[in-house]
A and B are shown apart, each in its own frame.
Chain A
């Protein structure tokens, strides 16, 4: 299975600190995506990194991908209370649907 697994399962930090979440997967991929979910409802796409890319930035988000280790990390810099959410990685390969991990629950304390 391509399933991504996020680590840690839960993370609590103070506002202004950086938050780092990791994702590991098992098979080769076309790309890896990160999503955010607030209050257990719809997910919002954050960033997509292709298998031939090593790092990507979007605002306060920085994603890295190491295909040799089959792992990715999501860094949120200068966190805000509004960043409190669950974060999921999802792997994409071939014509199979995205496979989501179980997520990291991030709490940013003001």
Chain B
């Protein structure tokens, strides 16, 4: 079946603009995660959705970052007033159940803020 998909694959934006990144998880997966990875670094957790529970937003670096998950499926990560330090690869993952299970990753969106 189809894996996790993300769009766009690459995004170049000017400092100060807003961007939206999209994630389509594997059908039926109740958990969805967003991570950020700067060049050569590990994964930085951003936000976690599990079913109908309130999302865990503890990893969002500032109030310029927000995410939604509509209908328990597609998720959008929005970055407002982008800054150069937001440049990174944004990875989405989903898993069949909760946080302790293996995660299936999308290919990521490479964001470059000029």
Contact = CB atoms under 8 A, between A and B. Distances in A.
Same complex: yes
Interface of A: 30-31, 33, 35, 40-45, 48, 88, 92-103
Contacts of A43: 43, 91, 93, 103, 105
Interface residues of B, number: 27
B100 to A, nearest CB: 4
A44 B105 contact: yes
A40 B39 CA distance: 8
B33 A45 contact: no
Interface of B: 4, 33, 35, 37, 39, 41-43, 45, 48, 50, 56, 59, 89, 91, 93, 98-108
Nearest to B45: A97
Contacts of B91: 42-43
8 contacts: A40-B108, A43-B43, A45-B102, A88-B42, A88-B43, A92-B99, A94-B100, A98-B33
Given A42-B106, A96-B99, A103 B42 contact: yes
Given A42-B106, A97-B45, 14 more contacts: A40-B39, A40-B89, A41-B89, A42-B105, A42-B107, A43-B91, A44-B105, A48-B102, A92-B99, A94-B100, A98-B33, A98-B99, A98-B100, A100-B43
B105 A99 contact: no
Interface of A, secondary structure class, is strand
